[in-house]
């Protein structure tokens, strides 16, 4: 089995175990620590205050490194977002998803970019870096031939917006994840490790709770990291060589396992690589 001479810290996107975390946040965090996750990426507070969530993390010996915060929430009250997530101690906040009207090529996209620019500057003033977490829909071609994702990063400067490349969705979007990480070397501090089988299919977005339809080719299913079609060692090599700071495991839907079993399988696989 391949071993790496250099490793990166491994975190978990808490959305992966939302069914457990929403019912018992502290018990879930204790389990994640036992599995081997020293870092997490929150996606919502599950009814807790930021102070309560931080206290849970501190008791469990886990650090929040990044958070997924809805775009609309940041537009509505960026000051509260900053206060809450500074309390959690994150270095990064990521835009996790855009609705259909806000996406590249849609009617609101230029407004979204302007808002992202404002949000990113306000976060930077408070010591937090704004990231954008992609899906596959950013790989639509803009009128000038660029992908929407590239158009976004060309339009908003790197001091204001960096990237959190999701390797699953880059692949589904038709591009090579490792090559895309290298394309955004030193602008991709957090890399999402996500594995899958199949390709674009009608069930794809249903698996993450979104009612969308994609072109059918082969049935799509999420898998624990190391158990799907992704070339994880090559992706990790690209992340290390391109200046990434963290690897974050995410599995949007657990499939055959429970969500905790799935993220444990991912963590155990990464341990075999020395992480």
**Using one digit for the tens of pLDDT, what is the confidence trace for 221-237?**
999 999 999 999 999 99
- Classified as helix, coil or strand, 203 is coil
pLDDT band of 204, cuts 50, 70, 90: low
pLDDT band of 199, cuts 50, 70, 90: confident
127 burial class (0-12, 13-18, 19+ CB within 10 angstroms)?
exposed
Within the chain, residue ranges assigned H as helices are: 18-21, 25-35, 50-60, 71-76, 78-88, 109-125, 148-155, 167-172, 177-183, 232-241, 259-272
Rounded to an integer, the average pLDDT of 254-265 is: 96
Minimum mean pLDDT range among 5-9, 29-33, 73-77: 5-9
Residues 73 and 235: their CA atoms lie apart, in Å, by 32
Residues 51 and 88: their CA atoms lie apart, in Å, by 7
Regarding predicted confidence, which is higher, 176 or 198?
A: 176
Check if the beta carbon of residue 42 is closer than 8 Å to that of residue 88.
yes
Predicted confidence at residue 1, as pLDDT, reads 58
Contacts for 143 with CB less than 8 Å, ≥ 6 apart: none
- Classified as helix, coil or strand, 63 is strand
- Classified as helix, coil or strand, 256 is coil
The model's pTM is 0.93
Q: What is the pLDDT of residues 39-67, one digit of tens each?
A: 999 999 999 999 999 999 999 999 999 99
Burial letters 144-171, b for 16+ CB under 10 A, else e: eeebbbbbbbeebeeebbbbbbbbbbbb
DSSP H/E element including 18: helix 18-21
Of all residues in the chain, what percent carry a pLDDT higher than 70? 92
Q: Which is nearest to 250 in space by CA: 5, 12, 55?
A: 12
Regarding predicted confidence, which is higher, 206 or 82?
A: 82
Q: What is the CA radius of gyration of the chain?
A: 18
Mean pLDDT rounded to a whole number for the chain: 94
Check if the beta carbon of residue 266 is closer than 8 Å to that of residue 236.
no
Rounded to an integer, the average pLDDT of 158-186 is: 97
CATH numbers and ranges of domains, the chain: 10-272 (3.20.20.150)
Predicted confidence at residue 255, as pLDDT, reads 87
Rounded to an integer, the average pLDDT of 240-262 is: 96
Residues 211 and 202: their CA atoms lie apart, in Å, by 10
pLDDT band of 152, cuts 50, 70, 90: very high
Four-residue CA torsion sign, 200, 178, 66, 27: positive
Rounded to an integer, the average pLDDT of 153-166 is: 98
Residues 148 and 243: their CA atoms lie apart, in Å, by 23
Q: Flag whether pLDDT at 210 surpasses 50.
A: yes
- Classified as helix, coil or strand, 88 is helix
Predicted confidence at residue 216, as pLDDT, reads 47
Q: Flag whether pLDDT at 208 surpasses 60.
A: no
| Beta strands at 10-13 and 246-249: parallel, antiparallel or unpaired | parallel
Rounded to an integer, the average pLDDT of 100-129 is: 98
């Amino acid at each position: 089995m391949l071993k790496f001479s250099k490793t990166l810290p491994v975190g978990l996107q808490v959305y992966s175990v939302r069914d457990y975390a929403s019912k018992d946040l502290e018990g879930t965090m204790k389990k994640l620590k036992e599995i081997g996750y020293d870092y997490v990426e929150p996606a919502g507070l599950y009814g807790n205050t930021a102070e309560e969530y931080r206290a849970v993390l501190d008791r469990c010996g886990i650090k929040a490194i990044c958070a997924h915060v809805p775009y609309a929430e940041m537009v509505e009250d960026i000051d509260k977002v900053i206060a809450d997530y500074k309390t959690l101690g994150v270095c990064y906040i990521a835009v996790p998803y855009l609705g259909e009207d806000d996406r590249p090529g849609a009617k609101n996209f230029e407004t979204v970019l302007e808002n992202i620019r404002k949000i990113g500057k306000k976060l930077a003033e408070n010591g937090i870096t704004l990231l954008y977490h992609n899906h596959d829909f950013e790989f639509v071609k803009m009128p000038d031939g660029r992908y929407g994702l590239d158009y976004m990063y060309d339009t908003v400067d790197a001091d204001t917006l960096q990237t959190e490349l999701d390797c699953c969705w880059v692949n589904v979007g038709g591009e090579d994840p490792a090559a895309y990480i290298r394309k955004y070397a030193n602008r991709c501090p957090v890399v999402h490790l996500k594995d899958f089988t199949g390709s674009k299919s009608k069930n794809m977005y249903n698996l993450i709770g979104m009612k969308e339809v994609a072109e059918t080719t082969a049935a799509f299913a999420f898998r624990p990291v190391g158990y799907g079609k992704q070339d994880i060692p090559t992706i990790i090599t690209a992340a290390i060589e391109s200046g990434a700071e963290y690897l974050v495991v995410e599995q949007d839907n657990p499939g055959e396992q429970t969500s905790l079993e799935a993220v444990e399988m991912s963590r155990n696989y990464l341990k075999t690589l020395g992480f």
